[in-house]
Structure 1
Amino acid sequence: MPSVLALTDTQISTWVAAFLLPLFRIIALLSTMPIFGTTLVPRRVRMYAALAITVAIAPSLPPMPPVQALDLSALLLVGEQIIIGAAMGLSLQLFFQAFVIAGQVVAIQMGMGFASMVDPTNGVSVAVIGQFFTMMVTLVFLGMNGHLVVFEVLVESFTTLPVGQAFDAGNIWELVMRLSWVLGASLMLVLPAITALLIVNIAFGVMTKAAPQLNIFSIGFPLILVLGMLILWLSMAEILNQYRPLAVDALQYLRSMVGAR
């Protein structure tokens, strides 16, 4: 008579936890991180990607704590994994938003603040220069395999910050305080361009004071726009040079958040 495979509730809950708990952390990361968490990537694609990543890394993950499906502790573990994944994704969003703010500042200085377009990644209207910076940093991030580094940190986080270990609430507060880093990084990116445009605006102000009959709006606006595009083109090399230390800082912060090496 063939033997019957007998499974206990503990075994079933252990197998389910070994797959579902990492899945929630991965889904939260993919839903909040740049590129994958934008509206350009459909939710179904993100779900399939999260399932594929979970299936691929589940055998190499540390043992998961057994949970009961209808137990309150299971809901707490799921919520904790969502918070960890969302915090990791939002830390990367701050890095990308530094370039968006830099583009907004330059656009206002050169008179292109009114030229806005719908950002397909976030669904809001941003200045054209900010949208250009967003596309640039996205391509550079993918070209430097930044997304692979993020996935490496994600897999390592299950060892350094295993499921069931309490997530330090101070990391959330540190993430909020990191907003000052975003403002400082955005100003550092476009400080030469802002300084040059400020000098141009001061020169036109002096011209208006010296010759009041000069129609500064018909002459100055297109000239400032042309000079602004020229200054932006000349400062692009410096912006790309600043990209590497900012990216390293953002990825190092991501590693320190989860205690990775």
Structure 2
Amino acid sequence: MLNLAVLQYPLFFLIMARMAGFIGASPLFSMTAVPRTVKIGLVVFLALWVLPTVQAKVPSPFQQTGLYVGLLVLELVTGLFMGFIATSIFSILNLAGQIIDVQIGFASAELFNPESSFVTGLSGTFFNMIFTLFFLGADGLDGLALTGMDSYKLIPLGQFHLPQTFGLAFEQLMDLITADAVQVAAPVLVALLLTNVTFALLSKAVPQMNVYFSGLPIQLFIGLSVFAASVPAFVSIFHVLFTFLFGQVTAFMQLTG
């Protein structure tokens, strides 16, 4: 395998560029908690694994330097795009967690997460931890690796492009992500909505009652109770999200290849 990589080093570096972009932008792998040596080793391993399956005519890096560099950048962009689509779908749980935190009253408890480099709340962190365990248990890392390897069947080397329908397809994906996030948070949202309606009626019936100070502890208790009761149902939700992630990545690879 190493001898083949040395003999076909121009093709090997192009494959490494796509794998590096995909690993660097994909969920879980992109976390800073994953050591760089692990990421580099995984990129090299995947490139060596994919190399015998890719048959493409590659320009010489010395005689056609500009063309080769352009192809190298295009492959890197291809990998980054694939990882971005997977990470966007993974962000459904963060969005659902933020919706729940705002309704329960945990919005002020948001903290900067150094692993993902953005602000996350308590519910979003919990969702990510549980889904990460489910993802690892369901061989999600193998699925991501195989997706990167099979990408050459859908997006041949140097054939990545954005069609005219890409904007519409991406808009539909964002709509699906938002709708799925609301569905994940729906049990807590409905319970808190009914709680707010109840307190609104009480404020009319008993004007002397301080709804704000009396309602916050009750709203927090109801929200956490419904959230805890909904945890067993998250397993089925995670299964659907798991399938949806790989399905959308494959669909966008078909669209751009």
Is 2:149 the partner of 1:135?
A: no
Q: Secondary structure at the match of 1:81?
A: helix
CA RMSD of aligned residues (A): 2.4
Equivalent residue, structure 2, for 1:81: 75
Q: Is the 8 A contact 1:100 1:131 kept in 2?
A: yes
- Amino acid paired to 2:211: I
Distance 1:19 1:172, change over 3 A: farther
- Contiguous gaps of at least 5 residues in structure 1: 1-11
Q: Which amino acid aligns with 1:71?
A: T
> In 2 relative to 1, CA 225–206 (structure 1 residues): closer, same or farther, beyond 3 Å?
same
Letter in 1 for 2:243: V
SS in structure 1 at match of 2:33? coil
CA distance in 2, matches of 1:176, 1:79: 26
Summarize the Cα distance change of 1:153–1:124 in structure 2 as closer, same or farther, 3 Å threshold.
closer
The equivalent position to 1:103 in structure 2, one of 97, 109, 115, is 97
**Is it true that 1:42 corresponds to 2:41 in the alignment?**
no
**Structure 1 residues 171 and 133: alpha-carbon distance in aligned structure 2, compared to 1, 3 A threshold:** farther
Point out the more displaced range, 170-179 or 198-207: 170-179
Deviations 1:151-185 (A, max 9, x none): 11211112332213343445853335421111011
What is the CA-CA distance between 1:203 and the residue it aligns to?
Answer: 1.0
Query: Normalising to structure 2: TM-score of the pair?
Result: 0.87
Q: Structure 1 residues 160 and 19, CA, compared in 2 at 3 Å: closer, same or farther? A: same
Match of 1:31 among 21, 24, 39: 24
The answer (yes or no) to whether the contact 2:78–2:160 under 8 Å persists in 1 is no
Q: Which residue does the alignment assign to 2:199? A: 204
| CA distance in 2: counterparts of 1:172 and 1:43, whole angstroms | 33
Rounded Cα–Cα distance in structure 2 between residues aligned with 1:85 and 1:49: 14
Contact 1:171–1:257 (CA under 8 A) maintained in structure 2: no
1:258 and 2:248 matched: no
- Paired position in structure 2 for 1:147: 141
- Secondary structure (helix, strand or coil) at the match of 1:118 reads strand
The range that moved more, 91-100 or 51-60, is: 51-60
Q: Tell me by how many angstroms 1:64 deviates.
A: 4.6
Give the corresponding residue for 1:55: 48
> Which structure 2 residue ranges, 5 or more long, are not aligned?
none
Q: Identify the range of structure 1 (165-174 vs 196-205) with the bigger mean alpha-carbon deviation.
A: 165-174
Confirm or deny: 8 A CA contact 1:95 1:247 kept in the other structure: no
Q: Distance in 2 between matches of 1:85 and 1:172?
A: 17
Which one-letter code corresponds to 2:10 in the other structure?
A
* Inter-partner Cα distance in structure 2 for 1:179 and 1:212: 43
Aligned to 1:68: 61
Matches within 5 A, 1:219-230: 219-230=214-225
Runs of 4+ in 1 over 6 A off after TM superposition: none
User: Residue 259 of structure 1: SS of its match in structure 2?
Assistant: helix
Under a length normalisation based on structure 1, what TM-score does the superposition of the two structures give? 0.86
For 1:187, the equivalent position in structure 2 comes to 182
3-state secondary structure, aligned to 2:230: helix
1:241 CA displacement: 1.8
Pair 67,172 (structure 1): closer, same or farther in 2 beyond 3 Å: farther
Cα gap change, 1:38 to 1:153, in 2 (>3 Å): same
Q: Number of aligned residue pairs: give it.
A: 250
Q: Does the CA-based 8 Å contact 2:46-2:145 persist in structure 1? A: no
User: What percentage of aligned pairs have identical amino acids?
Assistant: 22
**Distance of 1:218 and 1:253 partners within structure 2:** 45
- Structure 1 pair 176/89, CA: closer, same or farther in 2 (3 Å)? farther
Kindly indicate whether the alpha-carbon contact (under 8 Å) linking 1:13 and 1:68 is maintained by their aligned counterparts in 2: no
